[in-house]
Amino acid sequence: MTPIQALGYVGLEVSDLDKWSQFAADLLGLQPVPRADGAVDLRMDAYATRLRLTQGTEDDIDYVGWEVRDAGALALLKTRLVHHGVRVSEGTAADAANRYVTGLICFDDPEGLRSEAYFGPLQRTDDPFVSSRGVSFKTGRGGLGHVVLVTKDMAAQEAFYTDILGFRVSDYIHTEVVPGKPLDLTFMRCNARHHSIALAHLPLKKKLQHLMIEVRSVDDVGRALYRCMDAGQHISLTLGRHSNDDMLSFYPLSPSGFDIEYGWAGLEVDDDTWHVLRHDTNSAWGHRYQRPPRPAKSEEGASSPVMALSKERQSAG
């Protein structure tokens, strides 16, 4: 059993903070809260922060925050990591304050993603979350959504997340979206949400393939889709329903070049009756890949994950 309860927060390093804040607020319906240090927190519920945008050149995931129940669970997780030879550092009081949590530890996953585990996240009940688009996000015990990580060594990553962090595999997708180019995905959960993390074997430089956030109404998916279309925001995958977690979703391309999955009605797993499944397709219907617009002449030749994806035709679940 994992001491990890949920995907609590995610840090993103972005090159265009203003464009990202606008994308998050106007199209996704998140609430940007600028910080004194120049970063921007994106709220989606009572938590003080769920996503944090920091200025940088990577345009990729910076860190991931896993929530545990309490100080005892955090100590247990630390012991477990150390026992398996993982280097763990204790977060300072300043680190905890920075993340709006009560205590945290820091470690890297086998492919170098900065990972944090924490307890006691600050709740801003006196300053309720307000979406300028009237969106209500599904978070709670299921956490903020899911991340899909570009993975080189699927077996090593799966072993780390299951054997050490205690995630359970929900299912696998082995598909071939381009003939002769297999795409392997592994989906893992730490709560009722079908997956909080998935691994995707893709030839991309970025660590993050996509980040999923879930809304409480199908109308919120429809409205967001049309906001994106009206704004000319590129949509990497059209509206569709996934084969494994039943998520009805579409994938707008973020200003950082990775996708956001904007979904509704994701499957909740009953641990007592669930068994691991295997799928040979990503989607029951839809999720048609759309090539991004051609870059301007000056940008041609620049390393873009999107261009790599257009060759591989991404459609990770």
Token pair 């696998």 is found at 172
Q: How far is the CB of 240 from Fe ion (least distance, A)?
A: 11
Site map (CB under 5 A) of Fe ion, residues 109-148, x = contact: ----------------------------------------
Q: What is the DSSP letter of 272?
A: T
Binding segment (CB under 5 A) for Fe ion, from list 31-39, 186-194, 214-222, 257-265: 257-265
For position 261 contacting Fe ion by CB under 5 A, the verdict is: yes
For position 171 contacting Fe ion by CB under 5 A, the verdict is: no
Q: Which is nearer to Fe ion, 103 or 317 (CB)?
A: 317
CA distance 2 to 77: 9
CA distance 52 to 23: 14
CA 201 centroid distance within chain: 16
Laid out side by side, the sheet with 89-90 consists of: 31-34, 40-43, 51-55, 4-14, 60-68, 114-119, 103-108, 89-90
Number of residues in contact with Fe ion, rule: CB under 5 A?
3
Binding segment (CB under 5 A) for Fe ion, from list 5-13, 129-137, 211-219, 278-286: 211-219
C-alpha distances in angstroms, 293 versus 44, 184, 252, 257, 296? Answer: 30, 26, 13, 12, 9
Q: How far is the CB of 317 from Fe ion (least distance, A)?
A: 5
For position 104 contacting Fe ion by CB under 5 A, the verdict is: no
Binding segment (CB under 5 A) for Fe ion, from list 23-31, 34-42, 216-224, 258-266: 258-266
Binding segment (CB under 5 A) for Fe ion, from list 21-29, 30-38, 225-233, 309-317: 309-317
| CA angle at 66 for the pair 61 and 72, rounded to the nearest 5° | 155
CA distance 167 to 189: 6
Question: Given candidates 104, 113, 147, 212, which one binds Fe ion under the rule CB under 5 A?
Answer: 212
Q: Which is nearer to Fe ion, 100 or 137 (CB)?
A: 137
Q: Which is nearer to Fe ion, 99 or 287 (CB)?
A: 287
Q: Which is nearer to Fe ion, 164 or 208 (CB)?
A: 208
For position 259 contacting Fe ion by CB under 5 A, the verdict is: no
Q: How far is the CB of 215 from Fe ion (least distance, A)?
A: 14
Residue 258 · residue 235 · CB < 8 Å: no
CA distance 178 to 24: 32
Q: Which two tokens stand for residue 147?
A: 């991340």
Binding segment (CB under 5 A) for Fe ion, from list 2-10, 32-40, 116-124, 253-261: 253-261
Residues that bind Fe ion (CB under 5 A): 212, 261, 317
